[in-house]
Amino acid sequence: MSKATVPLPEKLVPIFQGPARYRVAHGGRGSGKTMGFAIMAVVKAYELSQQGKTGTILCLREHVNTLTDSTMAEIKNAIKQMPWLQDFFEVGEKFIRTKDKRIEFLFYGLTRNLDSLKSLAQIHVAWVDEAARVTEEAWRKLDPSVRADDSEIWVTYNPEHKSSSTDRRFRQKTPRNCKIVEMNFMDNPWFPIVLEDVRLNDKENRPEHYDHVWLGDYLTVVAGAYYDRQLAEAKEQGRITPIFVDKLMPTYAFFDIGGTGGKSDATAIWIAQFVGKEIRLIDYYEAQGQELSTHVAWLRKHNYHDALVVLPHDGRTFDKVFHVSFESALREAGFNVEVVPNQGRGAAMARIEEARRLFPRMVFNETRVGGGLAALRYYHARIDEVRNVDLGPDHDWSSHCADAFGLMAVFYEEPRAHIDDFEDFDTMDWVV
């Protein structure tokens, strides 16, 4: 009996041996993890068909606007690498399936198709590629939707930050029945020669990005990052440290408003106190797609029920689902609320500049704001690389946190000494 050859990097072999609910590979560029998982997806389709099973192998990425954004090309290439399987599949411009039509590959984007996944029957494998930015809401919906007997979830990604939902779910707290491996370029026996020059050029000319791109480390420096220098100074000066709420001082909850539903933006909240000229960032919260009651429950659970809630101008806008404004709903829940007026064009850059100016006064509670710091570190400009022009903040996962942070900066008023506060003005010793 002849043996079939499966071209798989050695480091991936244990990941696909034996049963597992989750099979995960993380690491840098050129590691072969995406192609390895594509090859095993094709092998899995063959095995399922041979067993007489019907259903779907679901290939997912966060955003798939067209099939060119999907892993379809990787699946097609995987089939070509195994000649013994080429006659077993029907491969068209927009479809891939076994010739007996038992198993079909589907290519979806999580952002647009998340709710429709529930209606898919017999998902045997859901493979999420480029999964670094997949939200917790998406994972919560996807996991129970993959419920066929012996079904599996596969994950491949290049880590960006520790606080990402994907990293927390699979690396920080590895679930039961999970096989996970780190893979980088040196683990790929078929590492392309053309990429070796790219890798060495990055190592020499872009060392700040090299470890993330090629060695799978967390992303620490982003081109056009707005607060990178300020955060580095805060760390060097000991302003990222455990701090506590001063019960004698007012507490503020600064919001960036998201919405309800799987496709909505996240809601972010910074908890702050102004003590003298010091700005204390006490706590940080973020949730995507949740109702206002979830955010209120978090505030109450952490004893911020007396906080003054500060909303951006859209706090007076009615929610599309529940047709109430955040302002009215929060007042109804017993909070004092203030809405910052619309700052007009250029508001985002105005928030950034004000936050930069105030940064030397800021102290961050190391034990409670890690997620917020990660987002501020990543928050960056869209750069026109031809003209080297800042086109304004990139709207991504970090911008909700940064907008709430910027709202705090424009709301803040510097403490001032007033003549009426002192009886003997002429004898005062002023310290500037």
Q: Are β-strands 22-26 and 240-241 bridged in parallel, bridged antiparallel, or unpaired?
A: unpaired
134: exposed, middle or buried (C-beta count within 10 Å: 0-12, 13-18, 19+)? buried
Q: What would the pLDDT profile of 41-82 be if each residue is shown by its tens digit?
A: 999 999 999 999 999 999 998 877 777 778 889 999 999 988
What is the rounded distance in angstroms from the CA atom of residue 339 to the CA atom of residue 327? 8
pLDDT of residue 336: 94
pLDDT of residue 385: 58
pLDDT of residue 420: 44
Residues 139-154 have a mean pLDDT of 90
Higher pLDDT, 318 or 27: 27
Measured from the Cβ of residue 374, the count of other Cβ atoms closer than 10 Å reads: 22
pLDDT band at 262 (very low <50, low <70, confident <90, very high): low
- Compute the CA torsion angle 32, 34, 36, 39 (nearest 10 deg): -140
DSSP classification of residue 318 = B
| pLDDT at 83 > cutoff 50 | yes
pLDDT of residue 164: 84
| pLDDT at 342 > cutoff 50 | yes
- % of the chain surpassing 90 pLDDT: 52
Q: What would the pLDDT profile of 189-240 be if each residue is shown by its tens digit?
A: 999 999 999 999 988 887 777 888 999 988 776 777 889 889 888 988 999 9
Which range has the worst mean pLDDT, 4-8, 101-105, 186-190, 331-335? 4-8
Q: What would the pLDDT profile of 365-412 be if each residue is shown by its tens digit?
A: 999 998 899 889 889 887 765 666 667 788 888 899 999 999 999 999
pLDDT of residue 317: 67
pLDDT of residue 313: 87
| pLDDT at 25 > cutoff 80 | yes
Higher pLDDT, 148 or 268: 268
Query: E-strand spans in 257-311?
Result: 266-275, 278-288, 308-311
pLDDT band at 128 (very low <50, low <70, confident <90, very high): very high
| pLDDT at 421 > cutoff 50 | no
pLDDT band at 140 (very low <50, low <70, confident <90, very high): confident
Q: Are β-strands 96-98 and 89-91 bridged in parallel, bridged antiparallel, or unpaired?
A: antiparallel
Q: Are β-strands 178-182 and 152-157 bridged in parallel, bridged antiparallel, or unpaired?
A: unpaired
Token pair 């470890």: residue: 211
pLDDT of residue 343: 76
What is the rounded distance in angstroms from the CA atom of residue 82 to the CA atom of residue 73? 15
Residues 104-127 have a mean pLDDT of 82
pLDDT of residue 214: 94
| pLDDT at 427 > cutoff 50 | no
What is the rounded distance in angstroms from the CA atom of residue 51 to the CA atom of residue 347? 60
pLDDT of residue 185: 95
* Domains of the chain, CATH where assigned: 10-196 (3.40.50.300), 228-411 (3.30.420.280)
pLDDT band at 261 (very low <50, low <70, confident <90, very high): low
Cα R_g (the chain), whole angstroms: 26
Written as one letter, the residue type at 257 is: I
pLDDT of residue 424: 42
Q: What would the pLDDT profile of 305-335 be if each residue is shown by its tens digit?
A: 999 999 998 776 655 444 578 888 999 999 9
| pLDDT at 110 > cutoff 70 | yes
Residues 351-361 have a mean pLDDT of 95
Q: Which of 163, 103, 176 is nearest to 132 (CA)?
A: 163
- SS3 label, residue 233: helix
Residues 2-21 have a mean pLDDT of 87
pLDDT of residue 320: 47
| Residue 56 · residue 122 · CB < 8 Å | yes
Structure tokens at 248: 């004698």
pLDDT of residue 37: 96
Q: What would the pLDDT profile of 285-310 be if each residue is shown by its tens digit?
A: 998 878 889 999 999 999 999 999 99
